Structure 1
Amino acid sequence: MADGQQLGRLLLIKIGDGADPEVFNNMCGLKTRSFNMSANEIDTTIPSCTNPGGPVQKTSRPGISNRTFSGSGAFVSSTAMDTFMGYVRGASAFNAQVIVPGDGTYEGSWMVTDFSFSGDVEPNMEFSATFVAADVLEFTPEA
């Protein structure tokens, strides 16, 4: 794409099948998706000892980092979705890869913290899911 822009539909989560060697399959049906990287802020502000009535400069340091992927879309029945739903029903951690175009791949253990089915009378059934890192992730920069 022009000017290094990336297609949002290439922001993917690939779910591991638990086999050896493990195979990662794209989570099919996602229409919207987001990947969040954040860290807690640890307040390190200390008023001046020599001028306690003077201005105070807020200072901080990074705390616990958080990596979260969320997505929603059409529920598509498949072998890969059956494997994924087993992880959701069992509230168990599983291996996955989050592919962030223009950045790289975040791979490791993930868990689903929120999963919902939804549907109206005529359209296809949909789902939404929120994934949180369950262990330290390995980052591989995009080549």
Structure 2
Amino acid sequence: MAAQCGGAIVVSFETAGETPTYKVVAGLRTRSISLNSETVDVTNADSSGHWRELLAGCGVRSASISGSGVFTGNEGFDEVQDAFMDRSVRDAKILIPGWGTFEGPFRVSSLEISGEYNDSVQCSMSLESAGALTFTAIGA
């Protein structure tokens, strides 16, 4: 795969309402997804050479999406704010160019707005997975 432009990563958040759609969270300068998998240690006195043994196919998986950038007050960010305020779980998508899209339920775990007197208003957000995610590869 060829190198990709980091600015092409897109985070979209589900709108509330009878017919939910996705809105891009605009203004983000940095975006990332962290995929995590806990391990289950089954090492015991019979473990070969006293090496740690991990149980395959076991353990909790999770994902975190984060982003920060210039506060634009767009519809996507408004939806993130609303979900934070009412502590709801909504679907989010993150598109990684050249790889694919992760999609599933997330809860907003942190939301920050900041500003300095001689700079733009900044924002940052963190989303934590709240259920199973799907991955759709580019071209699939």
- Following the alignment from structure 2 to structure 1, what is the Cα–Cα distance between the partners of residues 124 and 41? 34
Amino acid at match of 1:117: I
For 1:111, the equivalent position in structure 2 comes to 107
Scaled by the length of structure 2, the TM-score of the pair is: 0.87
Between the aligned partners of 1:86 and 1:22, the Cα distance in structure 2 is: 14
Q: CA deviation at 1:103?
A: 2.2
Conservation of the 8 A alpha-carbon contact between 2:114 and 2:123:
yes
The answer as to whether partners of 1:29 and 1:73 remain within 8 angstroms in 2 is yes
- Structure with a larger share of its residues in strand: 1
Opposite residue 85 of structure 1, the aligned amino acid is: Q
> Residue 12 of structure 1: which of 4, 10, 13 is its match?
10
For residues 89-117 of structure 1, the C-alpha deviation after alignment (integer angstroms, 9 at most, x for no partner) is 11211121111223211112111111111
Alignment-derived partner of residue 53 in structure 2? 59
Unaligned runs of 5+ in 2: none
Q: Structure 2 residue aligned with 1:87, among 78, 83, 90? A: 83
Q: Hey, what's the Cα distance between the residues in 2 that align with 1:103 and 1:8?
A: 12
Percent identity of equivalent pairs: 23
Where structure 1 has 5 or more consecutive residues not aligned to the other structure, the ranges are none
Q: Are the counterparts in 2 of residues 17 and 24 from structure 1 also a CA contact under 8 Å? A: yes
- Asked if the contact 2:81–2:111 (Cα under 8 Å) also holds between the matched residues in 1, the reply is no
Output the aligned Cα RMSD.
Answer: 1.9
Q: CA deviation at 1:80?
A: 3.1
The answer as to whether partners of 2:12 and 2:76 remain within 8 angstroms in 1 is: no
Counterpart-to-counterpart distance in 2, 1:64 and 1:28: 31
Q: Deviations over 1:19-52 (max 9, x none)?
A: 4543212110111121111101111112228xxx
Instruction: Name the SS of the counterpart of 1:63 in structure 2.
Output: coil
CA distance in 1, matches of 2:49, 2:104: 45
Equivalent in the alignment of 1:127 = 123
> Which is higher, the Rg of structure 1 or of structure 2?
1
Q: Secondary structure at the match of 1:42?
A: coil
